[in-house]
Structure 1
Amino acid sequence: MTEEEARAALLARQAELAEEDRISAEGRAPVTLQQDSVGRLSRMDAMQQQAMAQAQERRRAAERARIAAALDRIDEGEWGYCVKCGEEIAEKRLAHDPSVARCVGCATGS
């Protein structure tokens, strides 16, 4: 994977995350008490759905941060090298996820 292919894949994923954010905005909204629902269980279910939507938002935020860092590494000419040890990251690892910052050895603590 070239730097330009990586940049294109990262930007495409950034756009997907923005769309996911837009779609899930309603699920993260505060839970309101609806008098016509069946009471406590309905509210508990709504609160659980809200908590899951908020957790997904946190995961998307973390992924956006990884993507931004990868784009910065591309701009600086450091993409494809482990941020910990400086060794090249395996091509297949980068092809699977161009935002990875560490080689397999450093990522697993080996």
Structure 2
Amino acid sequence: MGKITNMYGQGNDEIRSEIAARLAALDDEDMRGSAGKATVELDQQAVGRLSRMDALQNQAMAHATSARRESERRRLHAALARMDEGEFGYCEDCADEIAEGRLRFDPAAVRCVDCARG
């Protein structure tokens, strides 16, 4: 299994650029979302009980969003590793090529549509 130059005239360069852009966007989202993960202080003089509950809920959502970004970051780095190993663009289940449209939508996809459906 090699580079998917048969599917992309420019080889993996275009997909590699897309992955780099997505990783940069995840880093930007991390920077903007870091304040939401801060510890919620218990100061009932300054913040009422319901406001604190809202803050705790917002904090939990910020942590969940951060975990989602970290998962996506791992998937994208794994795609880059598959490119370096010459395994990118092939289904990990059946070894057929993954459709170009699927990889353009999700460059970290590891299964073709048929195998993903089960």
Q: Do the two structures share a fold, i.e. TM-score over 0.5?
A: yes
Q: Which residue, out of 41, 52, 56, partners 2:50?
A: 41
Q: Does 1:70 align with 2:82?
A: no
Query: What's 1:98 paired with?
Result: 107
- What code does the residue aligned with 1:61 have? E
Q: Which residue, out of 7, 10, 27, partners 2:36?
A: 27
Cα displacement (A) at 1:20: 0.5
Query: What's 2:25 paired with?
Result: 16
**Which one has a larger percent helix, Structure 1 or Structure 2?**
1
- What code does the residue aligned with 1:21 have? D
Aligned counterparts of 1:30 and 1:108: Cα–Cα separation in 2: 41
Aligned alpha-carbon RMSD (Å)? 1.0
When the two structures are aligned, how many residues end up with a matched partner?
108
Cα displacement (A) at 1:18: 0.6
- What code does the residue aligned with 1:96 have? F
Aligned counterparts of 1:62 and 1:14: Cα–Cα separation in 2: 11
- What code does the residue aligned with 2:12 have? E
After TM superposition, which residue ranges in structure 1, 4 or more long, deviate above 2 angstroms?
none
TM-score (normalizing by structure 1)? 0.93
Moved more, 99-108 or 54-63: 99-108
Can you give the 5+ residue segments of structure 2 that lack an aligned partner in the other structure?
1-7
- What code does the residue aligned with 2:13 have? E
Cα displacement (A) at 1:42: 0.5
Task: State the percentage of identical aligned residues.
Answer: 54
TM-score (normalizing by structure 2)? 0.87
Aligned counterparts of 2:96 and 2:112: Cα–Cα separation in 1: 7
Can you give the 5+ residue segments of structure 1 that lack an aligned partner in the other structure?
none
